[in-house]
Amino acid sequence: MINEFKNLLNNLCEEFGTNNEVVLKVSQHVDKLIVSEQRNRLSKIKNSSK
């Protein structure tokens, strides 16, 4: 899932540039989704090791 977000963001950067306001907002949102995904993974790892 994280790779899909990164690919999508890369496509937007290529099409609109990295300083585009929309691209920056999408980038921030993607960063939040990545953090959330990583927290979920970490939580699952912690719970499975108990």
The secondary structure of the chain, three-state, reads: CHHHHHHHHHHHHHHHCCCCHHHHHHHHHHHHHHHHHHHHHHHHHHHHCC
Q: What is the pTM of this model?
A: 0.69
Q: How many CA atoms lie within 13 A of 48 on its CB side?
A: 6
Confidence category of residue 3, pLDDT binned at 50, 70, 90: confident
Question: CA-to-CA distance for 24 and 28, rounded, in angstroms?
Answer: 6
Q: Which residue has the tokens 């540039």?
A: 17
The per-residue pLDDT for range 4-48, each reduced to its tens digit, is: 878 888 898 899 888 889 888 888 988 898 899 899 999 999 998
